[in-house]
Structure 1
Amino acid sequence: MDWREVIDELDSGVERIVRTLSKLSDQDLRAASALPGWSRGHVATHIARNADSLWNLLEWARTGVEIPQYPSLDARNAALDEGAGRGRDELTEDVRATAARFTEQARTLPEDAWNAPVEAMGGWSHPAWYTVYRRWNEVEAHHVDLAAGYGPADWPEPYVRWSLGGTLADMVALPEKLRGELAGLRITATDSGEAADLGWTPGGPEASGSGRALLGWLSGRTDGSGVSVRPDGRLPVPPPWPHRPADF
């Protein structure tokens, strides 16, 4: 899916997050999210600060002046703790306004800036256009993390197709030591036929399911419901997601 179309998907995804947040009370936002150690307020704050951080990368591409995604990991975490305790209306407006600022930056970025290299907080470089896709993962995955009624079953089909394809390709490119329990596994999407061999050999273990079920499992957003494994046994635990893109 072209990154220009993804910008519209981001707007729709944030609208869904805003609707979810608007149904929660201040007390609900103090409650635990699906992410260990984070309240729903932490997740909402992270969605907003992520928009700011990726705006920084597009500004880097626009101006040629290096701007880090975050000043540091400690600064990022401090901002989350500082913002997590705000009320629903303030959190919701923060998510909405920062998302709009990011997509406005994307829509107005000069054409010749989209291939400019920028750097993720993890230290790897990618062209500016990939920033839009990174934001797509953040919006959809962290909406699930709010643990407020939105799950992988609600993900838009274009997102599932893109993110599953990218996830499988990125895992194939991972060094074996970073594949964790998935090393030696073959993964197959029963609806699209997409597959990833992670060091698999004939007769080795295989996992299969719909693309949506696989993405929920591989992204850590489900326990693997809808995914079957052969030979019968415990479904392996995927490594932390998302992965460094194979192409950069």
Structure 2
Amino acid sequence: MGEWRKVLAEVDAGTERVVATVAGLGEEELRGPSALPGWTRGHVATHIARNADSLWNLLEWARTGEEIPQYPSMEARNADLEAGAGRGAAALAEDLRASAERLSAQAARLPEEAWDRTVRAMPGWRHPAWFTVYRRWHEVEAHHVDLAAGYGPAGWPVAYVEWALTSTLADLAALPPDLRGALEGYRLVATDTGDAADLGGAAEISGGGRALLAWLSGRSAGEGLLMRPDGPLPVPPPWPYAPSGF
């Protein structure tokens, strides 16, 4: 994961794609359902913007050494979503761009020694500050799909798929068996890259890496995957998983 600095540019490019998508949506489309249950496209766009602010908080924690939570509380996070979801396309797009620019500016001025300081994600797991860059990459690419506005896993950059698939499989394999859910007892194999996760069984789910990542991340129903022995695909546990290797 030492290549994290290069990811900053990938995140900025991904954000611009999201901004372009949101800016092109009409009022009815923004109020329409996203791919996330209970959320409109306006909710998803607002969440992406507030996520940038929340990760800014973690970089500020790393910069100052004073603990700042990612979000003040789940209630505050949800209230911000509701407050912002009803805005028009121009306001949502500007919020997305401005919040991303604040995060990028914070990253640009962060002292070198601060990047290795430990911060804590809202779910409770800890990670070095540089991992916020990868977390933001997930947010931008996965939630762009969740807008349900023409961008799907087929549009994910190759660099994102390569990193996200490798890390997802490693993090899944590192989970205790009781947290792997219905995937316990399977072997997952990306037929094009050779990436794999052995979860303790003989049954196998295989397919291209992009298709495998889309399914594990909940962004597809498993199109393009093959299961041996034949049968319905199990439901993966909630993604992303707690990062391993720190």
- Give 1:246 shift: 1.2
1:123 equivalenced with 2:124 (yes/no):
yes
1 CA distance for matches of 2:18 and 2:179? 32
1:241 equivalenced with 2:243 (yes/no):
no
Q: In the TM superposition, what whole-angstrom CA distance separates every residue of 1:169-225 from its partner, at most 9, and x where no partner exists?
A: 00001111111110100000001101100112xxx2100011100000000000000
2 CA distance for matches of 1:27 and 1:247? 44
**Superposition map of 1:85-100 within 5 A:** 85-100=86-101
Specify the SS of the correspondent of 1:56. helix
Instruction: Report what 1:184 is aligned to.
Output: 185
Q: In the TM superposition, what whole-angstrom CA distance separates every residue of 1:42-77 from its partner, at most 9, and x where no partner exists?
A: 000000000000000001101111110000011101
- Give 1:27 shift: 1.6
Structure 2 counterpart of 1:208, one-letter code: S
Specify the SS of the correspondent of 2:116. coil
Q: What TM-score do you get using the length of structure 2 for normalisation? A: 0.98
Indicate if the aligned counterparts of 2:24 and 2:89 stay in contact, CA closer than 8 A. no
Aligned Cα RMSD in Å?
0.8
Structure 1 counterpart of 2:77, one-letter code: R
Structure 1 counterpart of 2:157, one-letter code: P
Structure 2 counterpart of 1:206, one-letter code: E
Indicate if the aligned counterparts of 2:172 and 2:180 stay in contact, CA closer than 8 A. yes
Structure 1 counterpart of 2:4, one-letter code: W
- Give 1:164 shift: 0.4
1 CA distance for matches of 2:196 and 2:190? 6
Q: What TM-score do you get using the length of structure 1 for normalisation? A: 0.97
Structure 2 counterpart of 1:207, one-letter code: I
- Give 1:41 shift: 0.3
2 CA distance for matches of 1:246 and 1:65? 25
**Superposition map of 1:182-221 within 5 A:** 182-200=183-201, 204-221=202-219
Runs of 4+ in 1 over 3 A off after TM superposition: none
Indicate if the aligned counterparts of 2:55 and 2:70 stay in contact, CA closer than 8 A. yes
Instruction: Report what 2:133 is aligned to.
Output: 132
2 CA distance for matches of 1:19 and 1:82? 22
Instruction: Report what 1:173 is aligned to.
Output: 174
Structure 2 counterpart of 1:231, one-letter code: P
Unaligned runs of 5+ in 2: none
1 CA distance for matches of 2:9 and 2:109? 14
Q: Which deviates further from its counterpart, 189-198 or 1-10?
A: 1-10
Specify the SS of the correspondent of 2:222. coil
1:222 equivalenced with 2:223 (yes/no):
no
Q: In the TM superposition, what whole-angstrom CA distance separates every residue of 1:76-134 from its partner, at most 9, and x where no partner exists?
A: 01110111011111011000110111111112211110000101001111100000000
The count of corresponding residues between Structure 1 and Structure 2 is 245
2 CA distance for matches of 1:32 and 1:123? 30
Specify the SS of the correspondent of 1:20. helix
Instruction: Report what 1:163 is aligned to.
Output: 164
- Give 1:247 shift: 1.7
1:40 equivalenced with 2:41 (yes/no):
yes
2 CA distance for matches of 1:40 and 1:126? 30
Instruction: Report what 2:102 is aligned to.
Output: 101
**Superposition map of 1:15-26 within 5 A:** 15-26=16-27
Instruction: Report what 2:152 is aligned to.
Output: 151
1 CA distance for matches of 2:107 and 2:224? 36
Specify the SS of the correspondent of 1:114. helix
Structure 2 counterpart of 1:78, one-letter code: A
Structure 2 counterpart of 1:120, one-letter code: A
Structure 1 counterpart of 2:189, one-letter code: T
Structure 1 counterpart of 2:12, one-letter code: D
1 CA distance for matches of 2:244 and 2:127? 11
Structure 2 counterpart of 1:17, one-letter code: V
